[in-house]
Amino acid sequence: MKKRSAVTPAPKNTFFHKLSVEDINIKGKRVFVRADFNVPLDENLMITDDTRIRSTLPTINYAIDEGAKVILSSHLGRPQGKVDPKFSLAPVAKRLKRLLNKDVLFAPDSIGKQVEGIIAKMNGGDVLLLENLRFHPGEESNDDMFARALAKLADVYVNDAFGTAHRSHASTVGMTKYLTAAAGFLMKKEIEYLKGAIENPVKPFVAILGGAKVSGKIGVLEHLVGKVNKVIVGGGMAFTFIKAMGYEIGDSLVEDEMLETAQRVRKTLKENGVKFYLPVDCIIAQDTDSGSVIKIVPTLEIPKGWKALDIGPASVKLFSIALQDAKTILWNGPMGLFEKDAFSRGTFEIAHAVAEAYALTIVGGGDTDLAVHRAGVSDAISFISTGGGASLQLLEGKELPGIAALTDREDA
């Protein structure tokens, strides 16, 4: 199998008009890096997937090499503005120490005299991780006093947390009023790939959309009109489209309030010459228990009392053929309940079809990211986004507050 990530460049970027970290002098300066270290932990508070930490390493290592005093920050979980030990970033500090192969200081808070004292003693190239930003209610409310207290710690602000770029929080928006604000390498790369895929795709351009609900992807579908050549829809959202066409879907997932919208969008895409694909068969069961009887049936023959939980083999073949001539593939959302082995085959086979396509391949969204990793093809994908909600909003053509707040380049 080829490795697309090693040979496929990012789309040509003609729309990134913000400062990036390499545009500014950070030598010897206190550089506040907003990262996304919101990693999964097990019951023993051990990190089970450090992809998000690794994704920010290029920005961290660049700042270290430039002799900056590197101040890292992030949120973890939803502590509701209160100190909660199970959401401490201490495990992240340990993992960073191993990944960077150097000492990483850990502050017991994210603001205050004690933190300021630690930073005052830092030398160029030192790295400090602040405690969970969301231990303060001012983070999520974008409180100006909290933003100013964070800004007081640094000379320069760098946002490398694309996964939170759709949030107007103190550490993603508020701080930028007080410091020169630049994008880190990950942030810039996310924009280049995701926005580039939409605004300047190499065609044929195929979009694969899955997941549970049409409502979460309708904005993407509407934004794709006039830009995409083919749209493949799988997952639970497919059955809202199928019911909207007047067919029986048994007890499959459906958003009845989205039926009219789904029908309108499907017709609009077809009127604009976009080929629109829905599953032709599916894997059905009466419930999701591991011992449940499962069947493969045509999509239009789902009996009452049964629910579709994955695409079937004929759909996999249909979708795979549709991908064969693609030059750009964007995939957001699994084809079924892939977390359960009995309903994972459709998603995993599409993952292999995407990986084997001779195309620029872009995967967005947390579930799809997990799917390509479990399918064992992540190394063959050109780019895997670290953002869920942020990637969807960018694909809808919406402005993300965390990106809009960055300092504009003078030559833009």
Q: 373, 142 in Cβ contact below 8 A?
A: no
Cβ density class 154-168: b for 16+ within 10 Å, e for less: bbbbbbbbbbbbbbb
177 in a domain, yes or no? Answer: yes
Q: Could you confirm whether 305 is annotated as catalytic?
A: no
CA distance 203 to 372: 23
- 104: which DSSP letter? -
Task: List the CATH number of the domain containing 130.
Answer: 3.40.50.1260
Identify whether residues 245 and 125 lie together within a single domain.
no
The pLDDT of residue 411 is 62
Identify whether residues 146 and 226 lie together within a single domain.
no
CB atoms closer than 10 angstroms to residue 27? 12
Q: Considering the candidates 52, 95, 134, 230, report the single residue annotated as catalytic.
A: 52
The pLDDT of residue 7 is 38
Question: Is the backbone of residue 107 left (phi > 0), alpha (psi -120 to 50) or beta?
Answer: beta
Identify whether residues 104 and 135 lie together within a single domain.
yes
Cβ density class 275-287: b for 16+ within 10 Å, e for less: eebbbbbbbbbee
16 in a domain, yes or no? Answer: no
10 in a domain, yes or no? Answer: no
307 in a domain, yes or no? Answer: yes
9 in a domain, yes or no? Answer: no
Identify whether residues 230 and 368 lie together within a single domain.
yes
Q: Which residues, given as ranges, of the chain have pLDDT below 70?
A: 1-15, 366, 411-412
At 67-125, the pLDDT tens digits run: 999 999 999 999 999 999 999 999 999 999 999 999 999 999 999 999 999 999 999 99
Identify whether residues 177 and 203 lie together within a single domain.
no
Range of the domain at 347: 191-395
Q: Could you confirm whether 112 is annotated as catalytic?
A: no
What count of Cα atoms within 13 Å lies in the side-chain half-sphere of residue 263?
Answer: 9
CA distance 218 to 143: 32
At 293 the three-state DSSP class reads coil
- 311: which DSSP letter? E
160 in a domain, yes or no? Answer: yes
> Where a domain ends, among 183, 202, 217?
183
Identify whether residues 30 and 66 lie together within a single domain.
yes
239 in a domain, yes or no? Answer: yes
Identify whether residues 67 and 116 lie together within a single domain.
yes
In sequence order, what DSSP letters do the residues of 272-289 get, joined into one string? Answer: TT-EEE--SEEEEESS--
> Where a domain ends, among 183, 217, 241?
183
The pLDDT of residue 15 is 56
The pLDDT of residue 78 is 95
Considering only CA atoms, give the Rg of the chain.
23
- 332: which DSSP letter? E
4 in a domain, yes or no? Answer: no
Report how far Cα 109 is from the mean position of its chain's Cα atoms: 27
Q: Could you confirm whether 402 is annotated as catalytic?
A: no
CA distance 221 to 225: 7
Identify whether residues 282 and 159 lie together within a single domain.
no
Q: Considering the candidates 152, 366, 374, 397, report the single residue annotated as catalytic.
A: 366
**Count of domains for the chain:** 2
Q: 152, 128 in Cβ contact below 8 A?
A: no
Identify whether residues 279 and 130 lie together within a single domain.
no
Q: 405, 176 in Cβ contact below 8 A?
A: yes
At 32-66, the pLDDT tens digits run: 999 999 998 898 899 988 989 999 999 999 999 99
Q: Could you confirm whether 389 is annotated as catalytic?
A: yes
Identify whether residues 322 and 347 lie together within a single domain.
yes
The pLDDT of residue 5 is 37
Task: Count the residues in the chain.
Answer: 412
> Where a domain ends, among 139, 162, 183?
183
- E strands, 261-366, are 275-277, 281-285, 294-298, 307-311, 328-332, 360-363
The pLDDT of residue 6 is 36
Q: Considering the candidates 94, 97, 152, 213, report the single residue annotated as catalytic.
A: 213
CA distance 211 to 336: 7
Torsion of CA 130, 116, 141, 45, to 10 degrees: 20
Identify whether residues 242 and 316 lie together within a single domain.
yes
Identify whether residues 115 and 246 lie together within a single domain.
no
